[in-house]
Amino acid sequence: MTSQRQAIRDTWGSVSTLGTWPGTTEQFSIKLLFVLGASKTESLNIAVAIEAVEKGDLIMVDVDDNYYNLATKVLMGFKWIKEFCPIVKHVMKVDEDTYINIPQFVALINSRDWNNLIYGPYFPSAPVERDGKSMVSEEAYPIAVYPPHVKGNMYCMSATVAMEILAVSEYMPYVNMEDAYITGILAKILDVRHAGIPGELYNLHSAATPCELATGNKMVSQEIFKQTFYRTWAKVIDPSLC
């Protein structure tokens, strides 16, 4: 939704336009982009088109914006990077309900070589669901479990790995479980490995508090919505509130 995207632009995503983060003197070179498919509601498509012109940070993908097409949207984001931002070093996919402590995250990225790694909430395996929202057909993926992968609310990889995954995806059957497909199935073909985000920096099943995120006790959190983005950001600006 527009208000959720604006909350990201106004808070942790503001580093994309400002190049700075409250309380630090470090300069950050980060580009924030939102990847959207098409809505079945024409008035919403018109509103998004206006937003795209005004904000200049939307990538529009010619597929329906639904759960089945999530992997397509991510891969089209990779394709946009290949065509329009080829000098980028790292690519991070983040859900709209996710908050990132950018200085912490950049320090982590700069601390090691990520040429053959994907970073995120690591799962050594997971069962394939054959019905419901997360259903994957046996034709698309006949195996009963997914290979090691990271869950999809946040993952990061080198641009080299992202481009290799994009290339190999053209030769593989489409699997609609975005995280397992991109960071698991396609990554396994390339023998890409994983680095799991430490449990002390990320709550797998619940949202972190604004103070946990503002103080760096947690680096990433999902289930963060508009008002919590702003409450967290107020504490980033003024740590004494915590």
Evaluate whether 146 touches 180 at the Cβ level (below 8 Å). yes
Every domain of the chain and the residues it spans: 2-241
Rounded (10°) CA dihedral 166, 168, 171, 175? -70
Alpha carbon distance 9, 1 (integer Å)? 13
Pair of tokens at residue 207: 């949202």
Evaluate whether 37 touches 63 at the Cβ level (below 8 Å). yes
Burial of 138 (0-12, 13-18, 19+ CB in 10 A): exposed
pLDDT at 205: 86
pLDDT at 1: 59
pLDDT at 174: 95
Please list the ranges in the chain whose pLDDT falls under 70.
1
Q: How many CB atoms lie within 10 A of CB 220?
A: 22
pTM: 0.93
pLDDT at 84: 95
pLDDT at 125: 87
Which numeric CATH code is attached to 2-241? 3.90.550
